[in-house]
Amino acid sequence: MIGFFKKLFGGGEDRDPAAVAVAKTKSESVAPRAGGEIAGQNDGATRHVIIGAGPAGVSGAETIRKADPSASVTLIGGEPEPPYSRMAIPYVLTGLIGEEGTYLRKDDDHYDSAAITYIQSRVESIDAAARSVQLSGGDSANYDKLLIATGASPVAPPIDGLNQPGVHHCWTLDDARKIVSLADEGANVVLMGAGFIGCIILEALAERKVNLTVVEAEDRMVPRMMNETAGNMLKQWCENKGVSVLTSTRVTKLEAGAGDQDTITVDLDNGAQIPAHLVVVATGVASNIGFTESAGLKTGTGIVVDNEMRSSDPNVFAAGDCAEGPDFSTGGWQVHAIQPTAVDHGRIAGLNMVGQAAKYKGSLNMNVLDTLGLISASFGNWEGVTDGESAEVVDAENFRYMRLEFDGDKLIGALSLGRTDHVGAIRGLIQSDQGLGVWKDRLMADPHRFMEAYVARSQM
Ligand X SMILES: Cc1cc2nc3c(=O)[nH]c(=O)nc-3n(C[C@H](O)[C@H](O)[C@H](O)COP(=O)(O)OP(=O)(O)OC[C@H]3O[C@@H](n4cnc5c(N)ncnc54)[C@H](O)[C@@H]3O)c2cc1C
- Which parts of this chain interact with ligand X (CB under 6 A)? 51-57, 76-79, 86-87, 89-90, 122-123, 149-152, 170-171, 197, 200-201, 288, 291, 320-321, 337-340, 342
Residue closer to ligand X (CB basis): 204 or 430: 204
Question: With respect to ligand X, which residue has the nearer C-beta, 231 or 340?
Answer: 340
Residues 388 and 301: their CA atoms lie apart, in Å, by 28
Which alpha helices (DSSP H) does 208-246 contain, by range?
Answer: 228-240
Q: How far is the CB of 391 from ligand X (least distance, A)?
A: 28
Looking only at the bridges linking them, the beta strands covering 273-276 and 152-154 are: unpaired
In the bound state with ligand X, the residue whose beta carbon lies nearer, of 103 and 439, is: 103
Is the CB of 78 or the CB of 257 nearer to ligand X? 78
Residue 313 Cβ vs ligand X, minimum distance, rounded to whole Å: 17
Nearest to ligand X of 87, 266 (CB atom): 87
Nearer to ligand X, 149 or 212 (CB): 149
What is the 3-state composition of the chain as percent helix, strand, coil, each rounded to the nearest 5? 30, 30, 45
Rounded CA separation 432/443 (Å): 16
CA distances from 312 to 34, 321, 324, 346 (A): 32, 17, 12, 17
Q: Which residues contact 125 (CB under 8 A, 6 or more apart)?
A: 133, 134, 291, 294, 295
- Alpha-carbon gap, residue 206 to 183, rounded angstroms: 10
Cα separation, 455 vs 439, in Å, equals: 11
CB 172 to ligand X: min, Å: 8
d(CA 329, CA 429): 12
In whole angstroms, give the CA distance from residue 347 to residue 60. Answer: 5
Helix (H, G, I), strand (E, B) or coil at 458: helix
* C-beta of 267 vs 313, nearer to ligand X: 313
Residue closer to ligand X by CB (options 32, 340) is 340
Pick the closer one to ligand X by CB: 106 or 122.
Answer: 122
- Assess contact for 89 and 176: CB atoms under 8 A: yes
Smallest distance, Å, CB 166 to ligand X?
Answer: 19
Q: How far is the CB of 163 from ligand X (least distance, A)?
A: 20
Q: Give the nearest distance from C-beta 363 to ligand X in angstroms.
A: 11
Nearest CA-CA partner of 368 in 332, 419, 431, 433: 419
The nearest distance, CB 271 to ligand X, in angstroms, is 31
C-alpha distance from residue 322 to each of 65, 250, 288, 319 (Å): 22, 28, 6, 6
CB of 9 to ligand X, least distance (A): 8
Considering the complex, what minimum distance in angstroms separates the CB of residue 349 from ligand X?
Answer: 11
CB-CB contact of 7 with 99 (8 Å): no
